[in-house]
Every structure is written in structure tokens, then in C-alpha cells.
Structure 1
Amino acid sequence: MATNQIQIDIISDVMCPWCIVGYRRLEQALSKFDDLEVKLQWHPFELNPAMGSEGQHLGEHIAEKYGSTPEQSAQNRQRLTQMGADLGFEFNFSDSSRIYNTLLAHQLLYWAAETGKQTDLKLALFSSYFTEQKNPDDIEVLIEAATKVGLDAAEARAVLSDKRFETAVKEEEQLWISRGIQAVPAIVFNQQYLVSGAQDPDTIAELITKLLAEAA
């Protein structure tokens, strides 16, 4: 790898608000470097692999999974909404917000990696879910996101209908779990340095500086 190149692998779920916060902070860190070539790939992680197609009320889910009170949940959503605003991303949580299964979304993202549109699609899916409050387990919603970033609607529908990448996605999920990934976002730099959670831009920039120095 050249001295001005860096590989970044992001293990993430569309349902994870901290994943879009972490990505926006990563972008801020990368903006501090001139002429840096970044090879970035997203990898699947399902926060709720057993979730049914109807999803679950967000507040109920957070209470069941984390033991949060309604007040704590509201405070966390408010905090995330402000963080998003500071980073140029709009969270539109409401009392009717729901959480969904994301296996289909990950299959579409797996396909998008072959087209060079994976990051565009990932960001479109974040916006579709968090900003527009749409269901990422709905094939029509996924196709809409795909077409917004220039992907072929008919091919996207075929990928989702025949589930040609379902096994590959599940295998990749298990691979990352076997490597110790238990929460997201998890960002791996140059296949050797793991950054867990949505770290601040300065912390990420320090790591990138270290990696570039090592490469030089």
C-alpha cells in the first residue's frame, strides 16, 4: 500500500444511529489530510437478527434490550438529534418510531459494493430510516434508495427477490463476530487497528497520522 493510501473497513448496521454519527466524524477526520487515498468498505452487522418483518416500537425495544426508562430513551434521542444536527444529519425520531430487521438491506449493500456505490447507498439508507422514518425491511423502500444513488432498479429488485447474497452476508457477519466484534460502529484501519464506537475526529486523525507515518 502506498504511503498516501489507507484502507478503512466499517462494520455497521442501518439501525445504528451511532454508525452515521461515527461516519460523519470519520469524514471530518479525513478532511484534515490532503491527497489521501481512501479505500472504504462497509460490512454487515445485524443488531436485531431475530426481528420479525413487522418490526417493533423503538421505545419498547430499547426498554426490553437495554432496560432504559422512557425518560432515558427520550433523552438519548434528543442527544442524538443534536449530535446529528451538528454533523449535518437529520434524525427525526418520534413516538411512533420503529426498529426493523436489516438482513435485506445488508444484501443490497453487499451487491452495491460491486458497483462502487456502496457508501452512497449506505448513506441513502441511513437517511431513509432515520430522517424519513421508512422501513428498511421493505423491498420498495430499498429499491427507492438504490435508484436515488443511480443503481438499477430492476437489478436491485432481482437481488432482493432471489436473495443471492443472503448466505454471503450471514457468513461475513459471523466472520466479524468471530473476530470479536460485538457492537457497532467498529472501524478497522489498514486491517490492524480497531476503533470502537463513534470517536471524535481528532482521535481518528491521530491514528491516521500514525498509520501514514508507519507506511512512510
Structure 2
Amino acid sequence: MTPLKIDLVSDIACPWCAIGYARLEQALATLPNISVELKWRAFELNPDKKAPQEAILPALSRKYGKSEADMRQAQAHLMELAAGLGLNFSKMQKRFTCNTFDAHRLVKWADTFGKATAMKMALFTAYFGEAADVSNHQVLLDCVLNTGLDTTIAQQLLASDDYAQLVREDIAQYQQTGISSVPAFIINNRYLISGAQEPQQLAAALSQIAAEAN
């Protein structure tokens, strides 16, 4: 079995990141001879912790220079894609912009228990499925509970600066390498796959990389 290391650069506030991971899972299901070591890497779409929260549709309208109707249609398309992948995006049009730095710290912490992916998926569900504020510590603790980890320890972590440096290092590293949008899949520290590619495309790329690695 060929092992591949995948660093998945993503943000909890990025719907394409959730879709990209779900498509990666589908791709890997067709590649039984490839094993993957996946590491979630932090990226912030809204890095200003002091920025006021804003309803997502007008925020996206301003960011991309399109009408709110256009953004609503684009979001509806994402909701359809997500549903087909088993993701809960049912309230994504009702969410607000928010900072995800503390959520990324929890993912780093969960990784020490082998539960980084479970934490990431709980956070995606909270933000896109429940329109919850994933900068709010109580929301984050609910995600910890849903992941099966200790909420008392998590509460202490959130009150501290634990794992903050690891998150900052991720963000700085991938900015320096020129990554400006997510998801980004970095394979074996050498190959870059940008965006939420279709499962067939991902599978073909991973197969080729695995063949070259042998």
C-alpha cells in the first residue's frame, strides 16, 4: 500500500473546504491501494478578530462585487452540492461572518487525540448547518462535546493561549508559499492541488503521485 501525506489547508468558514474534504473521501474510497496521513492546516478567511460580524449574503456581495441575489443563488448551489455529499449546509445562508482562530486551536488540540477530522466536521456542521457563531466559546464547547472530547479541558484551553502559536505558524507558512485561497491539498510536501476538485480528478491526481512515489 502506497502511503501519501496530505496537508489540507483550509478554514472552517470556507464551504468549499468541507466539500473538498468530502470529495477527497470519495476519491480515496476508489483507491484501496493508497493510504493517507491527513493533517489539517489552518487558514483564516476573516483574520480580524475585532471586525464586526455581518450577515453572509451582503458580506459576500461586497467582497465579490455581485448582487445579493447572485450570492444567494451561488450559496443555493453549494447547498445542493453539500447535500449530495452528505454534508449539512441547511442554514449556510443565515450565517454571519466570524473569526475562526480559536476553532483552529481546537482542531490542533483534537489532533493530539486523533480527532482533528471529527472536530473539523463538527465545526463545519455548526457553521453551515446551524448558522452558529464558531468564534463563540460556548458553540466551540458544544462542538467539543459532539466530538467526544473533554469540555472542561477544552474550556481551559480556550481561556489560555494554548496551540495559538501552531495556528499562527500554519497561517504564516502557507501565506509565504503563495496560497491565497482554500482548500489547498499539499501532497508529500511537493505537489499542490488547488480547490475542491471532483472526486474523479482527485483520484487520478493521487494515483499519479502515488505511482511516482514508488
TM range (shorter): over 0.9
Superposition deviation, residue 126 in structure 1: 0.3
Q: Which residue pairs with 2:39 in the alignment? A: 41
Q: How does 1:155-194 map to 2 (within 5 A)?
A: 155-194=153-192
Is 1:98 equivalent to 2:96 in the alignment?
Answer: yes
Length-normalised TM-score, structure 2: 0.95
CA RMSD of aligned residues (A): 1.5
Higher mean C-alpha deviation, range 78-87 or range 49-58: 49-58
Unaligned runs of 5+ in 1: none
Letter in 2 for 1:38: V
Superposition deviation, residue 90 in structure 1: 2.0
Q: How does 1:117-132 map to 2 (within 5 A)?
A: 117-132=115-130
Question: What does the per-residue CA deviation read over 1:131-159, in whole Å, with 9 as the maximum and x for residues that have no partner?
Answer: 01111001111111112112111111111
Identity %: 36
Q: Which residue pairs with 2:148 in the alignment? A: 150
Helix, strand or coil at the partner of 1:20: helix
Which of 65, 68, 74 in structure 2 is aligned with 1:67? 65
Contact kept in structure 1, 2:42 and 2:167, CA below 8 Å = yes
Letter in 2 for 1:4: T
Going from structure 1 to structure 2, the CA distance change for 1:157 and 1:54 (only over 3 Å counts) comes to farther
Helix, strand or coil at the partner of 2:159: helix
Aligned residues: 214
Q: Which residue pairs with 2:27 in the alignment? A: 29
Going from structure 1 to structure 2, the CA distance change for 1:96 and 1:205 (only over 3 Å counts) comes to closer
Q: Which residue pairs with 2:55 in the alignment? A: 57
Alpha-carbon distance in 1 for matches of 2:92, 2:151: 30
Letter in 2 for 1:213: A
Superposition deviation, residue 51 in structure 1: 4.7
Helix, strand or coil at the partner of 1:22: helix
Question: What does the per-residue CA deviation read over 1:133-188, in whole Å, with 9 as the maximum and x for residues that have no partner?
Answer: 11100111111111211211111111111022223311220111001110000111
Q: Which residue pairs with 2:203 in the alignment? A: 205
Deviant stretches of 4+, over 3 Å: 51-54, 93-96
Alpha-carbon distance in 1 for matches of 2:92, 2:7: 31
Question: What does the per-residue CA deviation read over 1:96-135, in whole Å, with 9 as the maximum and x for residues that have no partner?
Answer: 4211110110111111121211011001100011001111
Alpha-carbon distance in 1 for matches of 2:153, 2:49: 26
